[in-house]
Structure 1
Amino acid sequence: MNRPAVRDFALLVLRFVLGAVFVGRGYRRWFETGMRESASQFAQWGVPQPRVSAYLAGSVELIGGALLIIGLLTTLVAGALALLAAAATYFVHLEHGFFSESGGVEYPLVLTVVLLIVVVFGAGRASLDGVLTRG
C-alpha cells in the first residue's frame, strides 16, 4: 500500500470529499441560511465579531472547498480550514459534549485532524499543485 499511485489516489479522494463538505457548508451559509441569519447564530454562540466571522467562514468554506477539490494552494487552504474547524470546535461544539448527534466536538474534530493530514502530506500528484510543481 505504500506506493505513490495509491497515496495520490487516497489524497485525491480525501481532498474531493473534504472539498465537497466545505463547498456545501459555505453554499448553505451564503445562499440558503443567509449571512444575516448566520451572523445571528454566530452571535448566539458567542463568536467574536459575528458578522465578520460569518462572512469569513462562509467565504473560506466555499472558496477553500473548491480549491481543495481541484488541489490548488492545498496546504495553505487545508491549514486555514483546519483553523476554522478548530475555532468552530471551541466556540460552538465544546459545550455540547463529544458526540455529533448532540452537537458535540466529534465532527469538527474529525474535520480538523483530516485537514491536518492534508497539510502534512500535501495534495498529491493528482492535483493542480502536483501539475504545477512538476519539473
Structure 2
Amino acid sequence: MHMDKPVVRDGALLIVRIVLGVIFIAHSWDRFAITGITETTGRFSAANVPQPKLTSWIVAIAEGAGGALLIVGLLTTFVAGALMLMVALGLYFVHLDQGIFIDSTHMGMEYPLVMLCALLIIVVFGSGRASVDGVLVRAEL
C-alpha cells in the first residue's frame, strides 16, 4: 500500500494542524487565564526577552489566533511560518541554554524543536484539502 496518496496526505495534514492548533490555543489560554499575563511577563523578563510585557501579549494573542487558524486551515502557510518564527525566538531566548530535555528544573529544547518540525510540515506541504484554504483553492478552479 502506498502512503503517497492525496487522501492520506490530507488526513495527516489535518491531524497535524488540529494537534498544533490545540496546543497553541492551550498555551494562549494558560497565558491569559491560568498563569496570567503578569506572571508570563515576569518569566519573559527573567529570560531577557525584549519588551517582555508587549511580547507576552503578542505571544498570547498569536498562540490563540494562530492555533484557531491552523485548526480551520485558513491562511495556514502564513500562520505556520509566523508561528515558526515565534517558536524559534522562544527557543533562542528561553530554551537554548537549558539542554535538550525538559525536566523539573530545565525547559529544554525538545518541545520547541518538535513544534518547529511540525510547523515546517505545514509550511512545506500546505494545509491540505480538508481546510478552508483547500476549499478556497478548489473554488477558484
TM-score range, shorter chain: over 0.9
Q: Offset at 1:123?
A: 0.2
Deviations 1:49-87 (A, max 9, x none): 000100000000011001000000000110111111111
Q: Which shifted more, 51-60 or 102-111?
A: 102-111
Structure 2 length normalisation: TM-score?
0.93
Select 1:128's aligned residue among 120, 126, 132: 132
Select 2:121's aligned residue among 114, 117, 120: 117
Structure 2 spans left out of the alignment, 5+ residues: none
Please give the alpha-carbon distance, in whole angstroms, between the structure 2 residues aligned to 1:100 and 1:124. Answer: 32
Per the alignment, residue 50 of structure 1 pairs with 52
Please give the alpha-carbon distance, in whole angstroms, between the structure 1 residues aligned to 2:102 and 2:87. Answer: 14
Please give the alpha-carbon distance, in whole angstroms, between the structure 2 residues aligned to 1:6 and 1:79. Answer: 23
Partner amino acid, structure 2, of 1:32: I
Partner amino acid, structure 1, of 2:54: V
Q: Offset at 1:88?
A: 0.8
Structure 1 spans left out of the alignment, 5+ residues: none
Deviations 1:95-118 (A, max 9, x none): 111112231111101101110110
Give 1 or 2 for the bigger CA radius of gyration: 2
Q: Which shifted more, 18-27 or 33-42?
A: 33-42
Please give the alpha-carbon distance, in whole angstroms, between the structure 2 residues aligned to 1:108 and 1:56. Answer: 18
Please give the alpha-carbon distance, in whole angstroms, between the structure 2 residues aligned to 1:42 and 1:87. Answer: 12
Partner amino acid, structure 1, of 2:136: L
Aligned length: 135
Select 2:66's aligned residue among 60, 64, 67: 64
Please give the alpha-carbon distance, in whole angstroms, between the structure 2 residues aligned to 1:58 and 1:5. Answer: 33
Q: Offset at 1:32?
A: 1.3
Structure 1 length normalisation: TM-score?
0.97
Per the alignment, residue 93 of structure 2 pairs with 91
Please give the alpha-carbon distance, in whole angstroms, between the structure 1 residues aligned to 2:31 and 2:83. Answer: 15
Please tell me the root mean square deviation across aligned C-alpha atoms, in Å.
Answer: 0.7
Please identify which structure carries the higher helix content.
1
Runs of 4+ displaced beyond 4 Å: none
